Structure 1
Amino acid sequence: MLSEKPSPPFSDLISNLNHTASTPDVPPVTCIFSDGFMSFATNEAAQEFSIPIIHLWTIPACSFMGFKQYRMLRKKALAPLKDTNYLSNGYLDTVIDWILGMKNIKLWDLPTFLLNTDPDDILFNFTMDAAEQANTASAMIFHTFDVLELDVLNALSSMYPRVLAIGMLSLLLNKLVKEESPLKSFDCNLRREDTKCLQWLGTKEPNSVPHVNFGSLAVLEREELIEFAMGLANTKLPFLWIIRPDLVNRESAALPRNSSKKQKEGVWLPTSVHRRQF
């Protein structure tokens, strides 16, 4: 696993930067600002050079708190699942009553990497280890709002030296960076964005367009994709559906031309955004 060894190149980078820091214009490295999931590469360097490290988590605080429970779930033999029957036999309704700041939580409310039967699952173990690495951080920043997750943020603040909620990073980028700044070339999305849908969306009444997005990790079977498409078509509503090219397991995510009788009344965008007009 990636987390078993730190990345020597990062330590080498810090060493080289400090070695060349001989003038006020080239100061030494005094703080490391790391993605929380990259701590396997950055934490050891921070300890080696006695540099404070700040973890940025681009996930909600409740998701991090969920990952933080993985070790205890494994210790109590609650996860990973014993077999696939546990997905549908009511087991996921098991109440988890020890999580600070998160009341009435059940297993199926927690991050879904626990929904597998392999104790060596890479994502389960990687996220569990990443959450535990947060113990070395001088501060943690979460991509969330105080009013949205106040209870869990307060709980985390009782466990770590400093916990901050930074809100929507994309909104901060738009607000703080001037149009002529080179930083405007940075994007919060690793995929190419298709903005053609915004003009179409502007023609719709407020709160009238369902938005469907499976995120960056979920994978569907082709039959599931088509069933979702049929369900959306049957709502008789215009909708906006974000579809990654790799959303369908081992197949193209392109919908068949005959996937809906309403196809002639709408347009499927050929890239990552699908819109439908009825």
Structure 2
Amino acid sequence: MSRPHLLVIPYPSQGHVIPLMELSHNLVDRGFKITFVNTEVTHDRVVASSSNMAEGDYEEFIHLVSIPDGMKAGEDRNQHGKLIDSMLKVMPGHLENLIKKINESNSGHDRITCVIADEHVGWALDVAEKMSIPRAAFWPASTVLMALAFHIPKLIKDGIISAEGDPIKNQMIHLSPTMPAMDTTKFVWLCMGDSALQKTVFDTIILNNSSVKLADYVLCNSFYELEPSAFDLYPNIKPIGPLFSSRRLANLWPEDSACLSWLNQQSPHSVIYVAFGSFTVLDKRQFDELALGLELSGQPFLWVVRPDLVNGVTVVYPDGFETRVGSRGRMVGWAPQREVLAHPSVGCFLTHCGWNSTMEGVSSGIPFLCWPYFADQILTKSYICDVWKNGLGLNPDESGIISREEIKTKLVGLLANEGIKASALKLQELAMKNVNDGGASLRNFEDFIQAII
């Protein structure tokens, strides 16, 4: 008997690829075959970052394939507006052709039985609907953010935002009486760079809202107790998180696993782990302040410093920094983050508040020091600091810089804050309860499996 064959397609960035790959591995464990569709550039980076594996050796039941994103070789895929427009123009046709090719191969015995699409590529759900294939939408960010997206028509109707997504006036609003207040000037599409990109993102959200209505199932990487008001508002969104997989195969950066040996030499709960995801960029002055703040903290630290972390220039540390911190500081290009956060020597997580990082930190019971960069990260920071109370935020000075003194003070305070530590451990307990036997997230996952077999 052949395995049910699912096609999985993420938006082409690491924060989207990782949770869908983890979901794919969990589905393989339950008897499914997966065709995992990346853009060509993302596909090449995933394969290159796992250089110890040949492309054909990933897994017998996960087949990595790629389709073009419409941009030229060498073009900057961090131009998000241009990438979104290009993908929408060319990728639906390529996806349809790919599915036809798969369905016509092997005498039709290997047909795609369901499409699982990142909600950020809603057009993939349109393609599946056109081809009469069952479909599921997957949301890789906070459910609160998805609730905000679904709420846009009401926000327009109530005169809170214009039809173009601009706030009519600056105010704090509640999507429901039980949800925390949101700042209308910090809606996600308004935290995405210039006005042209903001418009592209807002228009894309509207399109995706329409496409997700075609989904038979809507899944997300969260759990009920983390965002109860959002799930009460939209009960058709089913949490299946936190997602775990011992086999990830989705990194866009080669990992430096040697840092785990360094962690083994540190005292319990003493290490500051610093990582800003795959998009965050700092200017040189801010980078230097961060380095000097870590030095001033007096604590051991593991710092993920991507080659492109500093805007427009090669990474250069402040004069004498590396000598002064010595073996107390470890800088790596990329780290095996889940293993790092689970390590007993790690005491806190200085983070950009990306959703995968947030879920991994919550699952490890680690306190957060929040430094959001853009988009939904700003909303996630407010939940960490004000609702879940498992972290602190950093405040910039009058010039917009987060100073070394602010960094040092917050780090030292966070490591000594027993109340925040207790909140972090309580959330960890709830997270694990959800994915263990009898847990609500596991039940939702099992229900989904039974529905698509």
- Answer yes or no: same fold by TM over 0.5: yes
Give the secondary-structure state (helix, strand or coil) at the position aligned to 2:122.
helix
Give the superposition deviation at 1:115: 5.3
CA displacement at 1:10 relative to structure 2: 0.9
1:37 aligns with 2:120: yes
1:221 Cα deviation after fit: 0.8
Q: Does 1:97 align with 2:174?
A: yes
Work out whether 1:193 is the aligned partner of 2:255. Answer: yes
**CA spacing shift, 1:50–1:168, aligned 2, 3 Å:** same
Q: Which residue of 2 is the match for residue 168 of structure 1?
A: 242
Select between 61-70 and 243-252 the one with higher mean Cα deviation: 61-70
Partner of 1:63: 145
CA spacing shift, 1:111–1:120, aligned 2, 3 Å: closer
Matched, 1:136 2:214: yes
Q: Tell me, what secondary structure is at the counterpart of 1:198?
A: helix
Displaced runs of 4+ in structure 1, greater than 6 A? none
Q: Which moved more, 1:204-213 or 1:53-62?
A: 204-213
RMSD: 3.5
Pick the aligned partner of 2:293 from 227, 231, 243: 231
Instruction: Mark the CA change 1:214 to 1:38 in structure 2 (over 3 Å): closer, same or farther.
Output: same
Deviations 1:63-106 (A, max 9, x none): 33344456747971495589xxxxxxxx6xx3122357632222
Counterpart-to-counterpart distance in 2, 1:230 and 1:221: 14
Which range is displaced more, 27-36 or 110-119? 110-119
262-271 or 223-232: which moved more? 262-271
Distance in 1 between the 2:130 and 2:250 partners?
Answer: 31
Cα distance change of structure 1 residues 12 and 110 upon mapping to structure 2, 3 Å threshold: same
Q: Using a 3 Å threshold, how does the CA distance of structure 1 residues 257 and 271 change in structure 2: closer, same or farther?
A: farther
Residue 19 (1) aligns with residue 96 (2): no
Q: 1:125: how far off?
A: 4.4
- Long gaps (5+) in structure 2: 1-84, 341-453
Aligned pairs, number = 246
SS in structure 2 of the partner of residue 147 of structure 1:
helix
1:232 corresponds to which letter in structure 2? L
Q: How many angstroms does 1:251 deviate by? A: 1.8
In 2 relative to 1, CA 270–153 (structure 1 residues): closer, same or farther, beyond 3 Å? Answer: same
- Relative to 1, partners in 2 of residues 1:14 and 1:125: Cα closer, same or farther, differing over 3 Å? same
The answer as to 2:233 corresponding to 1:151 is no
* 1:87 equivalent in structure 2: none
* Pair 1:110–1:188, CA change in 2 (3 A): farther
C-alpha spacing 1:237/1:243, structure 2 compared with 1 (3 Å): same
Identity, in percent, stands at 22
Paired with 2:177 and 2:250, the residues of 1 have a C-alpha distance of 30
Letter in 1 for 2:111: P
Deviations 1:4-34 (A, max 9, x none): 56521111122233334646xx143221112
1:212 aligns with 2:294: no
Query: 1:32·1:54 contact (CA, 8 Å) conserved in 2?
Result: yes
Matching residue's letter, 2:180: K
Query: What amino acid maps onto 1:114 in structure 2?
Result: C
1:52 alignment partner in structure 2: 134
Going from structure 1 to structure 2, the CA distance change for 1:222 and 1:130 (only over 3 Å counts) comes to farther
Q: Is the 8 A contact 2:126 2:211 kept in 1?
A: no
Q: 1:7 aligns with which of 92, 99, 102?
A: 92
Per the alignment, residue 240 of structure 1 pairs with 302
From 103, 107, 114, give the equivalent of 2:191.
114
CA distance in 2, matches of 1:101, 1:51: 37
Unaligned runs of 5+ in 1: 83-90, 175-183
More relative contact order in 1 or in 2 (CA 8 Å, sep 6+)? 2
- Given the superposition, is the C-alpha separation of residues 14 and 22 from structure 1 closer, same or farther in structure 2, using an over 3 Å criterion? same
Give the aligned residue type for 1:38.
V
